[in-house]
Amino acid sequence: MPYITTTDGAEIFYKDWGSGQPVIFSHGWPLSSDAWDVELKLMADHGFRAIAHDRRGHGRSTQTWLGNDMDTYAADLASLVDQLGLKDVIVVGHSTGGGEAVRFAAQHGRGNVVKVVTAGAIPPVMIKSDSNPDGAPIEVFDAIRAGVAGDRSQFYQDLAWQFFGANRAGSKISQGQRDQFWRLSMQVGLKAAYDCVAVFSETDFTEDLKALDMPMFIAHGSDDQIVPIADAALKSVQLVKNATLKVYEGAPHGIAGDYQQEFDLDLLEFIRG
């Protein structure tokens, strides 16, 4: 299997499909690159080089004790880009991966990242504070940590319902999709899963967003129960110089079903444009 090795010795697994301009996908917590398989195939089928990696601690990458922080995640992505010699990169990130894509583009991608796409992404910052009074209280994230540290298998099964909006009337999300979420979640190391709760809730991307000067497409579901749109996309679009926001009415956090079909068409159009 293909891996790159980071400066601290972590081995980062990646998929590399097709050829052409590189489009790199960053997955959400607590998943892996497998979550992007449909989009990877879509991009490769349309003449792009589609790449997705397993974040350290997740999937098939090394379960490091240290380095479960956003700066290291972005540096790992920069190592992947450097070692593969990628130029004119387009980065796409979902949820926590959206934060990773934004930080990478702002701090490592000057002159090389040409477009950024996020979906249900965590920026600018999720946790409630004096400077972010509309955020979620720390008790919300403490409960997630407790679920991860306790019966994480059942926690991930329960979380899948909110993740995909399967708890909403009329949801068409299948048992198979919820099972896949659980399967990928169970592959993340406990330390990485636990540490990453603070990463996705407490990291402030405000300055990263302000630093972006390339075109950015921000996608978000109006019924996202994991990363509420009012705390995320509606604020992010105000901070980026050249950003377009599309709100997917009634869509959940997880990219699946009708939301996935519409988003994939928009993604392809934005990347081609």
pLDDT > 90? residue 229 = yes
Residue positions annotated with a catalytic role: 95, 224, 253
Per the DSSP assignment, residues forming a β-bridge with 91 are 24, 116
Q: What values do phi and psi take at 210, rounded to 5?
A: -65, -30
Which CATH number applies to 3-272: 3.40.50.1820, 1.10.230.10, 3.40.1390.20, 3.40.50.620? Answer: 3.40.50.1820
pTM of model > 0.95: yes
Provide the percentage of residues in the chain whose pLDDT is more than 70: 100
Torsion on CA atoms 59, 14, 7, 23, rounded to nearest 10: -120
Strands of the 21-26 sheet, one edge to the other: 3-5, 11-17, 48-53, 21-26, 89-94, 113-119, 216-221, 243-248
Q: Helix (H, G, I), strand (E, B), or coil: what is residue 114?
A: strand
Tokens read off for 211 = 């630093």
The domains of the chain are located at 3-272
- As to burial, measured by CB atoms within 10 angstroms (0-12 exposed, 13-18 middle, 19+ buried), residue 180 is middle
**CA dist 143 → 133, 146, 207 (Å):** 20, 5, 28
DSSP string, 21-49: EEEEEEPPTT--GGGGHHHHHHHHHTTEE
Question: What pLDDT is attached to residue 38?
Answer: 98
What is the 3-state composition of the chain as percent helix, strand, coil, each rounded to the nearest 5?
Answer: 45, 20, 40
What confidence tier does 107 reach under pLDDT thresholds 50, 70, 90?
very high
H-run or E-run covering 4: strand 3-5
The mean pLDDT of the chain is 97
pLDDT > 90? residue 1 = no
Tokens read off for 50 = 């589609």
